[in-house]
Amino acid sequence: MVTFLITIIKLLIILGVVATIHEFGHFIFAKLFKMGVNEFSIGFGPKIVQKKYKDTMYSLRWIPLGGYCAIEGEDGESDREDSFAKKNAFEKIVVLLAGVFFNAILAAIIFIGVGFAVNTYNTKITDLDANSPLAKAGIQVGDEIYSVNGSKVHLIDDLMAKKSNLPNDVEVEYIRDGKINKVTVKDAVTNIGYIGVSFLVNADGSDVSNEIEMVASGCAAVNAGLKAGDKIVNINGVETKSSTDIVNIIKQNAGNSLKFTIIRGEETIEKDIVPDTQRQFNLGNFVTEKVKPNLYYATLSAKNNFVNIVGSYIDLFKGNVSVNEMSGIVGIGEVVSKTEGLLSFLNLLGIISLAVGVANIMPFPPLDGGKIVIVLVETITRKKVPIKVEAIISYIGLALLLLLTLFVTYNDIVRII
């Protein structure tokens, strides 16, 4: 019961902070462009306290699941000179984008801060599997990977990132004895095993553990009944102490049945799982040099997080990611319940802040992106979209969003139970 209450509190903090920052972005720029703001509220529902300052009512309300910035004339007709409707297209679009911008700023601050607090690994090889594509190409321990197909790399994450659009063979530049050398790495893009799980970071930030943090929908793990909190301690007789041990074995066994030994609470379970097959960039098993965190590496790490999160939405639109793999409030709650320590919690807050920002910019009413489309249409046609038409579009969009939310929530519940 205590754990459940702590999870609810964490979830409310995340949703409250993300929504308040988003609405604060709208508020700041609305004030900057001298738009009337009737109310700025943290939370919904009955008020706890209210105070009017100049022309704006500031409210704190009981339901901490968001908030709102009520800009004059944004969602209705208004003849006031300080209304949203009376402003030019540039000012309207900036105000609508400001919420997304503030979500991104919050995420960047968090990611950079977390980057200072966790271990960072560059691209200098300290250990290398003799059968890896890198070793077969002649790269040795002590070499520092400089670029892949002309794209410079800085962190180990750059070398392990999914780049399935690359050709099978890639050109790798590396530094040895101060000189840049180039070599062709054969079969760098191959079919690898994938079961669809993420793992918890150890509380001290030292490594990623063997405990499952989240299971994606529609993958081998969920089909096998794996759950968040399970610890994968052995695969085919090989002890697995960290996510690296687990992922390396799974990658090499696409389509092959593996025997997993799992600890779930006080129970030890064995499951036969056949990893799904993914086409992915894979340079094999290697370890790189640990370096002291600094602003440079922290910023690079933050950039990688941005690329991964924004890229997941792009993959969704391209059809590379199924809607079944999306998570709603239940899925987020599941992840929140598994966060251990401040760093893990803050990192999740940053991820959700950026994800909410990117989602809001989608050209879909009644999201900010949908409102921007309406502003652009009005600017191009030089005609105001009738309030009734705009309302109907928003209602249809809201209904579709609710249906999507219900669908994703249902998938979350089925996956968890």
pLDDT for residue 49: 95
Closest to 417 (Cα-Cα) out of 215, 254, 199, 162? 215
Residue from 366, 362, 374, 360 nearest 399 by CA: 366
Q: How many residues does the chain have?
A: 417
Q: Which CATH superfamily is domain 196-274 in?
A: PDZ domain (2.30.42.10)
The set of residues, in sequence order, having a beta carbon less than 8 Å from that of 414 and lying 6+ positions away, is none
Query: Integer distance in angstroms from the first to the last C-alpha of the chain?
Result: 18
> What would the pLDDT profile of 292-348 be if each residue is shown by its tens digit?
888 888 888 888 888 878 877 776 666 665 555 565 555 555 566 666 678 888 888
What is the DSSP track for 224-260? HT--TT-EEEEETTEE--BHHHHHHHHHTTTTS-EEE
pLDDT value at position 311? 76
For this structure, is 72 an active site residue?
no
Domain with CATH 2.30.42.10 in the chain: 120-190+279-292, 196-274
What is the pLDDT at residue 355? 87
pLDDT of residue 321: 58
d(CA 258, CA 45): 52
What gap in Å lies between CA 297 and CA 90, rounded to an integer?
36
The answer for residues whose C-beta is within 8 angstroms of residue 88's C-beta and 6 or more apart is none
> Which residues of the chain fall short of a pLDDT of 70?
1-3, 161-165, 202-207, 217-218, 315-340, 398, 401-402, 404-417
According to the 3-state scheme, what is the secondary structure of 101-119?
HHHHHHHHHHHHHHHHHCC
Place of tokens 């709102």: 68
Classified by CATH at the fold level, domain 120-190+279-292 comes out as: Pdz3 Domain (2.30.42)
Nearest to 230 by CA among 217, 215, 211: 211
Burial class (CB in 10 A: 0-12, 13-18, 19+), 46: exposed
Give me the pLDDT at residue 205, please. Answer: 54
What is this structure's pTM? 0.74
Q: What distance in Å separates the CA atoms of residue 212 and residue 206, rounded to the nearest whole number?
A: 16
Contacts (Cβ under 8 Å, ≥6 apart) of 165: none
Q: pLDDT tens digit string along 155-183?
A: 888 877 666 667 888 899 999 999 999 99
